[in-house]
Structure 1
């Protein structure tokens, strides 16, 4: 079988799937992407590049669509080159939204097109209007509606689609639900597993918390309102007043991965550190970490805080559950699909640093009583999100797509 994966990033959600398919000598796997670094054994990486950037004079509603079309054009040119080398895929599997799959049915009309549907945008009822202090205007509502244009084209064009959670599928128009299967990418539970008594020592960044009994952890790609970073910083300030021996470890980049940038060019880290007084000797910003160091953070965590708007669920929350972390998480729809309060984690009001702090203290004050919740956290991942189980389901879904 000949398979073409498409994703601007690499390898993203297709890491394990591409590796598994490429391990079969009967398959030829090519991964089309913008990203040059990284590799997967036996997967040929084909780089595509848009011919230009989005023009600044393009109407701002339409700029995301223009960017998607430029991505689609670049993939079309890549496909033409692959054709010249006699590569005609049986299957194309791409991430929808950025545009790489827009013209696949034109260049490879006989190929089955599978689409990974991560998010469908709404002005109301999910992420965009979640914060009452940041209301939407008519301009924002219209802009958000047009953002769905490339996704709607993929919904029409694809032979079948997949979403990682039921919450995420729920965002798509109901008339397309029959096309979309729910199957998570899966968590490597053999890698993300508990290590009782683990100590946190990261000499590369001069961090040694081996003698620290209370370590609160937070992980996100960026430091932004979508993942509750402002509320978390406010929580730390309250926590430091009450627990002089508590240390906080924050993993992630000082950037915005989702949502709006600040208008003055500042980052949310700068904003919150200027606004909220903290003892920075007990707050450790690690930046992005390699997987093995990130794992050490999770394994040494006393309490892991995960906050999110009603948006895409982070892999990090599931990885933390798999590692047996005691998670204090926002009581928002993507989270409550996985976490039941008091069973496999603790739920809090996203907007209440006081409540978040109180539940963190509850864990720190009663570590032994929380052991059953930690065990249930890992059990949840083993039962529902284990890569070993879901990868085979994902592969079967692909085979069904070929047979349809």
Structure 2
């Protein structure tokens, strides 16, 4: 079987599915804009996106999606003549699958639906202090154009969480299954003997009063300002507590500050916590697992947006999660059952929850065990990949049943 993947950034969410296919003897081709490290059994074809052809701000994303679709379709057309795939799987958010049906009219298409942008009731208007202009709402609406056209041409589609599925228009949701990319519950597991050495030489162990926070970038989408303001309250009352943040200084999912300052710089100046917060720009996966294993309280905040793998990995490690009471988090965390929740914007309530974890940590073991059980029952990687492989096999049989 020849399975072709389309993703802008290497293998992306498909990395472990690709590995399973290769181990099973499948032929795998990856079409990408930014090549991934070479992997045995995977042929990579890279494309380049031409320069923008429009100056209208609301059409910038659509223009990029169009040019991406053209570039990918060119490669798919070549493969149609030399080595046609049996199934194509692609991320539909960046335009790569836009013209796949035209290039490969008889090949089943499976789309990965990560996020549909809404102008109300979602990330755009979550902050009550921010006024959303008509132009911004129009830009967001147009950003979905390529996804809608792609969905019309797909044979099947799936989203990683129910909340992400629910962001798509109601008439399309029945066509979008739900299956997460999967969490390695063997690598991510509790370890009461875990030890993590910090860059300054200090050693953290399970049972220490360590409060942790991790995100790709320390930005408002992941609640970094709210976390720091809550930590300022906790630090004043808990001189022995340690606070560790992991993440980059980029704009993340939001926009860069107009003054050019980094959010970490701004929040350290605001809270005066320079000497109390240990910051690590990046941790290797095994080191991040150790951080989750030694954490007394792991804080995960997000506006209504894509759910981070890091939250699920922390849950698999048996971390005591303190999450934001927002829709994506509520899908996996039930307050008082497998974690604790606090309103996203209420830093006093968040601080209270962190203190509760520090005071009652030994009595909240059931929440930790329930968090891991949640991952094992619904997000364990091998089960998720088994389901995805079932879809691929079904689509492949569907193609074989079509008369030549």
TM-score range, shorter chain: over 0.9
Q: Determine if the alignment matches structure 1 residue 241 to structure 2 residue 236.
A: yes
Cα 1:285/1:170, change in 2 over 3 Å: same
CA distance in 2, matches of 1:138, 1:403: 47
The more displaced of 150-159 and 208-217 is: 208-217
Residue 347 (structure 2) aligns with? 353
Residue 112 (structure 1) aligns with? 108
Residue 93 (structure 1) aligns with? 89
Residues 90 and 110, structure 1, Cα contact 8 Å, conserved in 2: no
* Cα drift, residue 10 of structure 1: 2.1
Residues 119 and 168, structure 1, Cα contact 8 Å, conserved in 2: yes
CA distance in 2, matches of 1:5, 1:365: 48
SS at match of 1:292: helix
Residue 401 (structure 2) aligns with? none
Residue 276 (structure 1) aligns with? 271
CA distance in 2, matches of 1:158, 1:97: 13
CA distance in 1, matches of 2:282, 2:47: 26
Deviations 1:17-63 (A, max 9, x none): 111111122x21011112234233311222212133x35x6111000
Residue 32 (structure 2) aligns with? 33
Residue 60 (structure 2) aligns with? 63
SS at match of 1:174: coil
Residues 167 and 334, structure 1, Cα contact 8 Å, conserved in 2: yes
Residue 256 (structure 1) aligns with? 251
Deviations 1:259-289 (A, max 9, x none): 22212222222222232211x2331111122
SS at match of 2:211: strand
Residue 393 (structure 2) aligns with? 399
CA distance in 2, matches of 1:28, 1:146: 36
Residue 291 (structure 1) aligns with? 285
How many corresponding residue pairs?
A: 397
CA distance in 2, matches of 1:78, 1:250: 42
SS at match of 1:118: coil
Of residues 219, 229, 232, the one that matches 1:224 is 219
CA distance in 2, matches of 1:159, 1:80: 19
* Cα drift, residue 68 of structure 1: 1.0
Residue 338 (structure 1) aligns with? 332
Of residues 300, 321, 325, the one that matches 2:315 is 321
Deviations 1:305-359 (A, max 9, x none): 0001111111111000000000000011111111111110001010011111111
Residues 92 and 112, structure 1, Cα contact 8 Å, conserved in 2: yes
Deviations 1:141-178 (A, max 9, x none): 11111111111111111111001111111111111122
List, as ranges, runs of 4+ consecutive aligned residues in structure 1 with deviation greater than 6 Å. Answer: none
Deviations 1:103-124 (A, max 9, x none): 1111111111111001111110
* Cα drift, residue 207 of structure 1: 4.3
Q: Determine if the alignment matches structure 1 residue 149 to structure 2 residue 148.
A: no
Residues 204 and 294, structure 2, Cα contact 8 Å, conserved in 1: no
Cα 1:377/1:75, change in 2 over 3 Å: same
Residue 2 (structure 2) aligns with? 2
Residues 208 and 295, structure 2, Cα contact 8 Å, conserved in 1: no
Q: Determine if the alignment matches structure 1 residue 213 to structure 2 residue 208.
A: yes
SS at match of 1:102: coil
Residues 64 and 147, structure 1, Cα contact 8 Å, conserved in 2: yes
Cα 1:284/1:207, change in 2 over 3 Å: farther
Residues 196 and 287, structure 2, Cα contact 8 Å, conserved in 1: no
SS at match of 1:312: coil
Q: CA RMSD in A?
A: 1.5
Q: For structure 2, which runs of at least 5 residues remain unmatched after alignment?
A: 399-404
